[in-house]
Structures are given as C-alpha cells and as structure tokens.
A and B are shown apart, each in its own frame.
Chain A
C-alpha cells in the first residue's frame, strides 16, 4: 500500500472508514472538502465504492427456479418443519428412538451400557436410523450425521431431565461423544 496520509487524515479516519463501509452514504460538507484536498483518502473511498459495486454484481441473487419455489412452498405448506420422521413418532417415541439412535450412531466414549433397556433402545435405534435414511435426511457427506447428532443431543437433554431418562440412559448430555469416522465429521 502506498498512501500519503497526513495528520488531517487521522482526524477524518473514522468518517472515511464509515464512508468506505457504506457506499450509499453521503459525506458531510467538511468531509467532502477533506476528500477534495486529500488524494489518499479520496482514492480509498473511490476504491471501496468501486469494490462495493463489484460485490453487488457478483453476489446478486439469481431468481429461484420454479422447481425450487414449488419444493419450498410444498414443504412450508406441509406443516412438517424440521422434525421429519420424528414428528410422526410422537414426543416420547421420538425421544426414545433418537436417544437409541445416538447409542448406535455416535457410540459414546463412555459406553452405551447393557441390559434389556439398552437393547430395546438399540432396536429402536435401527428403526429410527432406517427411517431417517428413508426420509432422505442422511447423506454421505456427514450432514445427516451432524443433524442426527444435534437432534439426539436435544433428545438426551430432554430425557436426562426426567426420571425415566435417568433410568433409561447410561450417559448424560455432558459426556464426551465420538463420532465414528464413517459417519462424517464432527468438530
């Protein structure tokens, strides 16, 4: 950078930066007078405004395809937001299935425990995961794994707040969970 700043520029720095940031703002008369006298500040403002024009052109949103609009409207009109298969399972069924899914999909470092209750949860986990895959919520990139992990985290939080959850779950939401490599990334 090759600027010729002056002491006067320091006084105007804040105003110049604001003018650079907001390309629709108009400079005050005093600032305009400084810009008239100061090529360095004027160049900075001009460059920022030229760049803003480039940004608007490069980032201008294209119209949505009709198919995308149709899909979005259909989803919105369905009334089934963000809950997918779990909406149809009901509150407690969803909790049990998602918590069990956690046991299988995330394999908590502290171990899933044992016993009939854990086995029942595991059975439900298989069904929940299968339903999730069928609903298209799982993908190879790991996005499905993350979504499931977040959902399961919420479910465990809910369950561990109840006596039933304390009995049924051998781990807590604060435990350290490791996602198997084949299930995607989790950082």
Chain B
C-alpha cells in the first residue's frame, strides 16, 4: 500500500513517472533481463533505474530522449552490479505470452522456437548480445546504440553482423 503523503513527488510528477515506467519499463526490463541477470534482479535494477531518473526529473522532463537517458542509467547499474551474471530463465516470457490468446499448438511451437532463439542470444558474448537486445528488443536505431554504448556506428553494425552470423550458425539457419 503506497502512501501519497510520504512521496516527495507532486501528483503531476508522480503521474509523469507512472507514464514513464509504463512506457519505458518493459523495454528497460527487457534489456536488463536479457543482458544482465535474472528476472527478479532485473526488476530491482529497473526500480533503481527509475528511482535515479526521478532524482533528475527535470532533466528527464526537458530532455529530448529520456529513453536513452534512462537506458544509460540502467546500463551503468547493470555494469556495476551484474556484469558477470547471465539470464537463466529464457522461457519465462513465453509463459506470459501463452495466456494471450494464441492457439495451444501454435503456442507450443512458438514457445520452442522462441526459447531456442532466446537461448542462442543468451550464449552470445556480452558485447554482441547487448547490441542485439538494444536493437531487437529495445528498438533503438544503430546511431542510438552507438551513442549509448560509446562506440562508433560501424562497430555497432559490425557487432550486429557478427551476432547474426553466430546466431544463424547456432540456430542452423545457414544452408
């Protein structure tokens, strides 16, 4: 049970934060979960990420790209705390999706395929995995990935290409 009286945020700030969490939260969680750790740990990092973002709420409000700002916070927290940890519950999201109306057989096939893809992504070296997740899960452009990771655009693209090559090999896509 939350206490509005204990919150240092004004009601409109709180509403802004709720919208921010609702909009950005899934992508930030996807990134943190896939790159840095298990689901519970990822949720903790996401909570801490938004907590820190709220500390600079005016910057978040006025900044043009608060998604990149929030992702930078999340990335720093990941690197600080869970750099060496790996995601271990690849099929968890599929359980959530299974209840979303897809036919049972389709769900079973999709579950298997997507679990294989997720497992293959989890096996990528971190620099490659991070680019794949930021591109495919978070939806950033390569220019944005390069800015976030402080790498040249060409490096971001070459990492993606290397990741795709590995994934194609791991998933038996190459013929």
Q: A residues bordering B, Cβ < 8 Å? A: 1-2, 17-18, 20-22, 43, 47-48, 50-52, 54-64, 68-82, 143, 146-147, 150, 187
Contacts and interface: CB of A to CB of B under 8 A. Distances in A.
B34 interface: yes
Given A59-B118, A59-B133, A61-B26, A76 B164 contact: no
Contacts of B118: 58-59
A127 B159 CA distance: 47
Contacts of B84: 187
B108 interface: no
Interface string B151-175: 0000001101100100110010111
B136 A72 contact: no
Contact of B25 (A18, A21, A64, A150): A64
Given A61-B29, A63-B26, A74 B2 contact: yes
A62 B6 contact: no
Given A18-B157, A77-B9, A62 B96 contact: yes
16 contacts: A22-B157, A52-B136, A55-B121, A58-B117, A59-B136, A62-B96, A64-B21, A64-B26, A69-B22, A73-B50, A75-B47, A78-B51, A81-B52, A81-B54, A143-B41, A150-B80
